[in-house]
Chain A
Amino acid sequence: MIEFQGVSKRFGTKLAVGSLNLSLAAGKLTALLGENGAGKTTAVSMALGLVKPTSGCVTVRGYSAGSMAARSNVGAMLQSAELPEQLTPAEHIRLFQTYYLDPVPFDEIVETIGLTSFLHMRYGVLSGGQKRRVQLALALCGNADFILLDEPTVGLDVDARHIFWQVIRTLVARGRGVLLTTHYLEEADALADRILVMTEGVIIADGSPADIKSLAGGKIIELRTNAPEDQLLALPGIEGTARVGERMRLTTTNAEETLRALFASGCSVEDISVERAGLEAAFIGLTGQNRRKGEAA
């Protein structure tokens, strides 16, 4: 179990992560979904002990994050980490395997991730996708119980991404606990048992992919209005509001009710469009510069 207990991190005056509570269990994949700068990487860094929380604590199987015992139980793929380019993937993997008591057999890791064709080439000459695969191999080669993947598929093409997904699904099926950060909704939906939506360091939605999707099951109304935001938030069915240029974007579970009430209020309403909210739209609604009813969600 990896546990975040009331974890906050400030960099100067900026709150990167605010009172995060999260348990990561074996055999489950939890996705941390958010835009760049939402605090996902800071959260992962704290679980690895690379960044010390300002308050609260992170433990791995009860060991303080960053301790040798905790590190032995976690494999990680960091978002922005380049490996020394003079070494080959084979050399990198064999070195990393020496850190662990019970590493995955070399041939198995090469096979699983599909490194054979470039196993003995210098890391520096590999393509972006090949480099990501080597980084994934380092995260997995120790056979650790928990795997933290920080934006693992950024910059990968569709095929490579699906290979990654397959590997990740296998990991979870074998009882590994995986924490995945991503800004691809599709990815979170495809892999996760649980999705946490993070914005400005705060979890604004937490649920199964189905829950998160139901948040997205409503409609998006865009319009121009002179109604103040507080009044919009009080309309029936409203889930959230966001300003998009001169227009307001309303996320609602019932577009008809919302609009009827808005017209009845006597405020000006112009330039209306209504569309079904996909996961993408709900996500923008949740994490844009928005305000929501209650903060809990």
Chain B
Amino acid sequence: MSTEIMAPVSSFRILKAECRTEFLKAWRMPSFAIPALVFPLVFYAMFGVVLGGADVSRATYMLATYGIFAALGPSLFSFGVAIATERDQGWLEVKRAAPMPIAVLIIARMVMAMVFALIVTLALFAVAYFAADVRLPFSVWMSLIALNLFTTVPFSLLGLAIGLRVKAQAAAAITNLAFFGFSLLGGLWVPITIMPDIMGKIALVMPSFHFGEMALAAIGIKDNGLPVLNISAALGFSLLFAILAHRAWRHMDKDR
């Protein structure tokens, strides 16, 4: 809609208010905040550090993949479950009737997912640094942060596609399935290399796997140059999720 750009109020001002609101909402909802914040930390501390006897190479390897895992939670849940819930409740209709560009709402949620991913990433870094003596060059810490933040975008779009298509209860089930499925089958919890061969083949069709491999490359564990296959696959999945989200949006908007 061409008039969409003619917001009476600065969209940036609305965006700031929406970001703050999204963060408050997420923070005050344990069913979101706990899987998003606590799962990655507890799992990493247990599988990456404690069970490995604080072995540095193991803790370093898992820091890469658990960072991707930390980006998955807030993106999938804040979009998949929360959008479906707010749509069921009629809240999305109230927003669409209000004089605010609805895209701002989507962007605010992505920002919120990124903030959560950043918090968890930094907490993971702290665990790795202090509990397992992981030492990495500054540039590697930074690239891990950048990669984890970028990872929230495609998974937010996938969550959005789910949240716009199905009812809240189904969305919760599908989102959980995606969250745990991507994590396990994508090798984010346990390295694919120590699993049976078939798992390696399955992992190739998991978007999470390719983001995980990119993180491993960033950390210098996969030492065969730029992971072109993984980068292409990750971008391909991102495009696919963007298309799915766009189509779900059009589907919801067809009466408009």
Please, how many residues of chain A have a CB less than 8 angstroms from a CB on the other chain?
34
**Most chain-B Cβ atoms within 10 A of its Cβ — which of A66, A68, A91?**
A68
Rounded to whole angstroms, the CA-CA distance of A100 and B98 in the bound complex is 9
Residue B55 at the chain A interface, CB threshold 8 Å: no
Cross-chain contact A81 with B89 (CB below 8 angstroms) = yes
Which of A43-51, A105-113, A165-173, A259-267 interfaces with chain B? Answer: A43-51
| Chain A residues touching B, majority SS | loop
Shortest A87–chain B CB gap in Å is: 6
Q: How far is the CB of A154 from chain B (nearest CB, A)?
A: 14
B91 within 8 A of A: yes
How far does the alpha carbon of A51 sit from the alpha carbon of B254 in the complex, in Å?
Answer: 9
Please indicate which of the listed interface residues B1, B91, B97 has the most CB atoms of chain A within 10 Å of its own CB. B97
**Residues on the B chain within 8 Å of A67, using CB:** 1, 3, 6
The distance in angstroms between the C-alpha atoms of A272 and B18, with both chains bound, is: 64
Instruction: Name A68's contact: one of B6, B24, B255 (CB within 8 Å).
Output: B6
Contact of A82 with B90 at beta-carbon distance under 8 Å, contacts A66-B1, A72-B8 already known: yes
Size class of the B contact interface (CB-based, 8 Å): 20 to 34
Chain B residue contacts of A66, Cβ below 8 A: 1, 256
Which B residues from 54 to 90 make CB contacts under 8 A with A?
86, 89-90
Q: Decide yes or no whether B14 CB sits under 8 A from chain A.
A: yes
Q: Is the CB of B21 within 8 A of A80?
A: no
Residues 5-37 of B contacting A (Cβ, < 8 Å): 5-9, 13-14, 17-18, 21, 24-25, 28-29
Q: Is B94 a contact partner of A87 (Cβ separation < 8 A)? A: no
What residues of chain A lie closer than 8 Å to B25, measured between beta carbons? 84, 86-87
Which of chain A's residues have a CB closer than 8 A to the CB of B3? 63-64, 67-69
A71 vs B9: C-alpha distance in the bound complex, in angstroms?
12
A214 close to B (CB within 8 Å)? no
Check B24 against A99 for contact (C-beta < 8 Å).
no
Closest 7 interchain pairs by CB?
A81-B90, A67-B3, A82-B89, A86-B28, A72-B99, A71-B99, A48-B97
Can you sample 24 A-B contacts with CB below 8 Å? A51-B255, A52-B256, A66-B1, A67-B1, A68-B3, A68-B7, A71-B97, A71-B99, A78-B94, A80-B90, A81-B93, A81-B94, A86-B24, A87-B25, A87-B28, A95-B17, A98-B13, A99-B8, A99-B14, A99-B98, A100-B9, A101-B8, A122-B28, A138-B94
Query: Which B residues contact A (CB, under 8 angstroms)?
Result: 1, 3-9, 13-14, 17-18, 21, 24-25, 28-29, 86, 89-91, 93-94, 96-101, 255-256
